[in-house]
Amino acid sequence: MQGMAHNIKSAKRMVERARPEVWDILEEVIQTRPVMLNRAPTLHRLGIQAFMPTLVEGSAIQLHPLVCAAFNADFDGDQMAVHVPLSREAVQEARNVMLSTHNMLSPSSGEPLVAPTYEIVLGCYYLTQTKPDAKGEGGRYRDFDDVLIAYDAGILELHSTISVHAPGESDTWIETTPGRIIFNEVLPEELRRYDVLMDKKALRDLVSEVYRLTGNATTSEVLDQIKQVGFHYATVSGTTIGITDIQVPPEKAEIIAEADKEVELLEEQYEMGLITEREKHVRAVNTWQRVSGRMDEVIQQHLPEFGGIYAMAHSGARGNEAQIKQMAAMRGLMSNPRGDIIELPIKSSFREGLSVLEYFISTHGARKGLADTALRTADSGYLTRRLIDVAQEVIVLEEDCGTDRGVLIHAQASEEDVMIAPLSERIIGRVAAGPIAHPDTGEVIVDAGEIIEEPQAAAIEAAGITELRVRSPLTCEAPRGICQQCYGRSPATGQLVLLGDAVGVIAAQSIGGPGTQLAMRTFHTGGIAGKDITSGLPRVEELFEARSPKGKARIAEIDGDVLVFENGQLIGDYESDDAPQVLVPPVSFVPCVRVVSHMPFTDSYAITGTHTLAVKEGQRVKAGEVIAEPAADAAEAGDSSEAVAPVALLARVSGAVRVVDGGIEIDAFETEVRDHQVDATDQRLVRTGDAVLAGQKLTSGVKDPHDILRIEGMEATQSYLVEQVQTVYRNQGVSINDKHIETIISQMLRWVRIDNIGDTELLPNQLIDRARFQSVNERVIAEGGEPATSKPELRGVTRASLNTDSFLAKASFQETARVLTEAAMSGEVDYLRGLKENVIIGRLIPARLDVSPEGRSLLGIPEVLPSAEGDSDDFEAIMGLMGEVPGMDDFEDDNGHAPPTAVDVDFSLDDDDEGDDDDLFLDDDDDDDDLEEPANTASASTEEDEEEGEEAGNADVDDDEIGVADPEESLLVEEEEDNAEE
């Protein structure tokens, strides 16, 4: 372009020698070209983002501090990879989709990822603080300009509380400080708050509101200004940490002395034989835990004296009060490598310094922490891989599947009834399954099919509505993938999710990414020895793998009343299949909880003129008792003729009689008894006479999701799994949107096991995909046959991944040799519906932005795309993912070969597979803009197509210079060009 080099080789040499001309040309080239930055490990999609670069001196990359959170980067020598997008489409996608200003919200929770941190928080906190008795306090000013003039003149301090007229309102006074006025100048007018102390949470909420009301562009400008203000005032504040800032509380010595006396007394009691060693240990630990709690209270009182440390912890910039307690008061109790609490606490604080013994006691925890981190990273990565594998084919493929079903959402509380997630937080961005009306006025707040936005969610909560039904990935009826309405708003954009979005992969990354933050420990409970409660990452893994939990609870299988049998009371014999034969059978007693259900039902009897009643209203009768006798005239008629004489009517059941028109009814109860054997160590949660519901816990422990599915059904199982996963993450302070967990669980519950085959060709006990099961049943019902029945099956993510239809995806996951052998033996066909199988054979993935008008506008692609059928907006034509599957004959060429887009082991399909799969489309063209052409169709081309074809051809020539072209691909391209000319 510049004429400085004669050929590519000499140009390359100039670049390698870093001649001065290179920098001038580079400056010119990068004006319109973004670069992509990636930091390993890329745990979620925001690990790679695009930026418009600025050339700087030196070899270090200079990165905006606010995007560091998304990359999990810090300024201590982190390495990042820089990629330059080359093609026009790649540049367009980087600029319109991957630019950091378009990725401000977390895909996992929808919260802002670019919220201020560290020094910015500290500066804003310092700026908006108030200080008692500050210079000029109590003054009254006409407007903000007067306040700032007074501050500049030294009449006021930054933190002086003053009164000033509200902007544009001469009769309204607001109480504020010069610092708060300065801070609010950078905010949009509608979001200015002059009475708020800006700590980390307040800043995060502010960014969220700015984004929701003003969008990307304004938010990035506001954030930049907040960053400048924060850095400036963090510098001006002069906040530092000195060792003398940390003051040991004067009350400490007295509290420690009291505790020492208590522990000495315990030691004496133990030596005298009054208490056991275990009792001594438990009581000593409780004493020191109480001391630790008192130290917390003492530190709270003295915190404001801690200067910069207090400001940092209280603002949320760095550190917390627990860490300050260790620095100033005492470290407290430590655990040994086995996880048992060491009876001897660390009485010293870091300010005072630890003794040698205390130092060695504290090394246990530090070493275990480092070992845990290494193990946790590997476990978390493996969980993410399994989650991605099970959900990789969940792509948004439809606008609306048309279902009227949904899941019931309510506020989430912990087992101690502490509010974890309010209702409004859980329903924002979901689509209402039905109209939501105010319970008192009847006014409709949200109509069916509408997205619940923030104002409506607040109105629903204010109306006192405690639960409602919303559309969910769990109840989506799309035959494959998921529909926009069931998914709702994308947390990453705050808009309705786009067609072609790979929501399954996003869900897996959102759950697996924070996995490293979860504690990897099993806690010993204080009462019962030997009972472990699995928590943290192992608990998440246990839930997603659908394993029976350790120490699982017994749950009631029917509604009824409880009868607890005491030890030694014989209620029945139990025969074990695997017990060896013995001459004298030993008798052992197993504790048992019996649930007795009395289900009311009504037995009806028609009484005609041939009978007279033998019972009265309300009379109790027993089974077999006469309730109606033959009438006298009817009996005589029977004697005088050959007609059969009527006989007495007998009660079939025991119960109370009700006389009704045309007969009588007996109200009776059907009794059902279920015995639940419990371990001697299990803590029973019910007593004799208690009424229980099916699914209620009878003993302490964790419910088994397989038991819930069998007893309570699918909706209860789905709800339980979502709540349990959320509880683990929320307890660690990690926020994940429910719909990500629901997306994974929908894949775990997509299988059914055939119960009764009816008139279908299915096999008894066969495991089959729910969508296929429904389509087979619909076909049989249409033909007038009897449909099959089935039971839902819960499968863990590993087993669900190995049950997928794609043998390529299965083989790339686990058990490669077995999967490929079975695929070859059974002649499996892979229809390339997921992401992995397309990547493996080098096709474009089916998750694409260009399948919706919104996506095409983002990519700068023409609104009207050329189509095989001529319908430019037809999603099926573009994706080739949703049509009926023709027989393989339709795909074969004259020689009986299938096109290269179908990866097959055999050229035949079972009858069951027909009508269940997709049209296959060629994708040999490198040009993203062109619609993939069906294998058996020739499309007429326009002038625009020819131009784009020439561009694609040029690109192919460049590619051929650096690689070997596929001969089959070249032939196909030539065939297409011949067809176009014809």
CA proximity to 67, closest of 126, 113, 102: 113
pLDDT of residue 388: 93
pLDDT of 126 over the 50 cut? yes
∠ at Cα 666 (661, 670), nearest 5°?
A: 145
In this prediction, residues 848-876 reach a mean pLDDT of 63
Cα–Cα nearest to 79, from 40, 42, 36, 35:
40
Alpha-carbon distance 665 to 619, whole Å?
11
**33-102 adopts what CATH topology?**
Barwin-like endoglucanases (2.40.40)
Predicted confidence band of residue 554 (pLDDT cuts 50, 70, 90): confident
Nearest residue to 793 (alpha-carbon basis) of 778, 813, 773: 773
> What pLDDT band is residue 864 in, cutting at 50, 70 and 90?
low
Q: Is the CATH number of domain 245-354 1.10.132.30? A: yes
How do residues 431-460 score in pLDDT, each as one tens digit? Answer: 999 999 988 888 899 999 999 998 999 999
Pairing of strands 140-141, 162-165: parallel
What Cα–Cα distance (Å) separates residue 927 from each residue in 134, 553, 697, 973? Answer: 68, 58, 59, 12
Domains 33-102 and 118-237 fall in the same CATH topology: no
- Cα separation, 4 vs 801, in Å, equals 56
354 band by pLDDT with thresholds 50, 70 and 90 = very high
Where is pLDDT greater, at 371 or 895?
Answer: 371
Preceding omega of 455 cis (within 30 degrees of 0): no
Least confident of 116-130, 323-337, 367-381: 367-381
Q: State how far the Cα of 701 lies from the Cα of 549, in Å rounded to an integer.
A: 9
- What is the pLDDT averaged over residues 479-493? 92
Mean pLDDT of 270-295: 93
DSSP class of 882: S
Question: For residues 154 and 160, what is the distance between their CA atoms, to the nearest angstrom?
Answer: 11
What would the pLDDT profile of 386-402 be if each residue is shown by its tens digit? 999 999 999 999 999 98
Residue 934 phi/psi, 5-degree rounding, is: -60, 150
Q: Is the dihedral of CA 608, 614, 617, 618 positive or negative?
A: negative
Residue 673 has pLDDT above 90, yes or no: no
Q: What percent of the chain has pLDDT over 70?
A: 79
Average pLDDT over residues 303-328: 87
DSSP-assigned letter for residue 888: G
Residue range 624-642, pLDDT digits in tens: 888 888 876 654 554 444 4
The predicted model gives 574-601 an average pLDDT of: 55
Specify whether the CB–CB gap between 445 and 452 falls below 8 A: no
Residue 555, Cβ neighbours under 10 Å: how many?
22
Q: Is 524 helix (H, G, I), strand (E, B) or coil?
A: strand
944-968: average pLDDT = 38
Rg (CA), the chain: 36
End-to-end CA distance of the chain: 38
Beta-strand pair 829-830/903-904: antiparallel
| Average pLDDT over the chain, rounded to an integer | 80
3-state secondary structure of 80: coil
What's the pLDDT at 79? 93
Q: What is the pLDDT of residues 179-236, one digit of tens each?
A: 999 999 999 988 898 989 999 999 999 999 999 888 888 999 999 999 999 999 999 9
Distance (Å, rounded) from C-alpha 564 to C-alpha 592? 6
Return d(Cα 790, Cα 764) in angstroms, integer.
9
pLDDT > 70? residue 515:
yes
pLDDT at 630: 80
Q: Which residues of 408-444 are buried (b: 16+ CB within 10 A; e: fewer)?
A: ebebbeeeeeeeebebbbbbbbbbbbeebeeeeeeee
Tell me: the pLDDT tens digits for 806-847?
Answer: 999 999 988 899 999 999 999 999 999 889 999 999 998 888
The per-residue pLDDT for range 10-58, each reduced to its tens digit, is 999 999 988 888 888 888 888 889 999 999 888 889 999 999 999 888 8
Query: Is the CB of residue 555 less than 8 Å from the CB of residue 696?
Result: yes
- pLDDT beyond 60 at 908: no
- Do residues 567 and 591 make contact, with C-beta atoms less than 8 angstroms apart? yes
Name the pLDDT band for 869 (thresholds 50, 70, 90): very low
Domain boundary assignment for the chain: 33-102, 118-237, 245-354, 395-501, 560-575+587-693, 750-793, 804-981
Element (H, E) at 233: helix 216-237
Query: Is residue 409 within 8 Å of 434, Cβ to Cβ?
Result: no
User: Any idea what DSSP says for residue 581?
Assistant: P
- pLDDT higher than threshold 50 for residue 888: no
Mean pLDDT across the stretch 505-533? 63
Please indicate whether residue 420 or residue 300 has the higher confidence score (pLDDT). 300
What is the DSSP secondary structure assignment for residue 75, as one 8-state letter? Answer: T
The lowest-confidence range among 115-119, 468-472, 886-890 is 886-890
In whole angstroms, what is the distance from residue 548 CA to residue 920 CA?
A: 41
Q: For residue 588, is pLDDT > 80?
A: no
Angle, alpha carbons 309-315-317 (nearest 5°):
75
Q: Which one is predicted more confidently, 480 or 412? A: 480
Range of weakest confidence among 316-330, 403-417, 493-507: 403-417
What is the third-level CATH fold of 118-237?
A: Enzyme I; Chain A, domain 2 (1.10.274)
- Token pair of 774, please? 């429904």
pLDDT confidence of residue 534: 62
> H or E element: which one contains 773?
helix 770-782
Identify which has the larger pLDDT, 443 or 863. Answer: 443
For residue 342, the 8-state DSSP code is: P
pLDDT greater than 70 at residue 906: no
pLDDT for the residue 965: 38
- Is pTM, for the whole model, over 0.95? no
Least confident of 188-202, 311-325, 374-388, 905-919: 905-919
3-class secondary-structure state, position 680: coil
Residue 123 is predicted with a pLDDT of 95
Q: Please give the Cα distance from 64 to 223 (Å, whole number).
A: 11
- In the structure encoding, which two tokens stand for residue 634, read together? 């009817």
**By percentage, how much of the chain surpasses pLDDT 90?**
39
- In 3D space, the residue among 880, 796, 896, 870 whose CA is nearest the CA of residue 838 turns out to be 880
Q: Is the pLDDT at 690 greater than 80, yes or no?
A: no
Contact 177, 161 (CB under 8 A): yes
**pLDDT the model gives residue 941:** 38
What is the pLDDT, as a whole number, of residue 29?
Answer: 84
Asked if residue 128 lies in contact with residue 198, where contact means CB atoms within 8 angstroms, the answer is yes
- pLDDT band at residue 881 using 50, 70 and 90 as cut-offs: very low
State how far the Cα of 786 lies from the Cα of 779, in Å rounded to an integer.
10
Contact 87, 955 (CB under 8 A): yes
pLDDT mean over 300-310: 82
Pick from 906, 900, 902, 905: nearest CA to 885: 902
Q: What is the mean pLDDT of residues 84-92?
A: 89
Burial of 297 (0-12, 13-18, 19+ CB in 10 A): exposed
- Which pLDDT score is estimated for 927? 38
- pLDDT bin (cut points 50, 70, 90) of residue 419 is low
CA distance readout (Å), 623 to 373, 666, 717, 731 = 69, 10, 40, 57
pLDDT category at 670 given cuts 50, 70, 90 is low
Calpha distance 244→328 (Å, rounded): 10
Give the 3-state DSSP-derived string for 355-403, with helices as H, strands as E and coil as C: CHHHHHHHHHHHHHHHHHHHHHHHHHHHHHHHHHHHHCCCCEEECCCCC
Q: For strands 412-413 and 419-421, give the pairing.
A: antiparallel
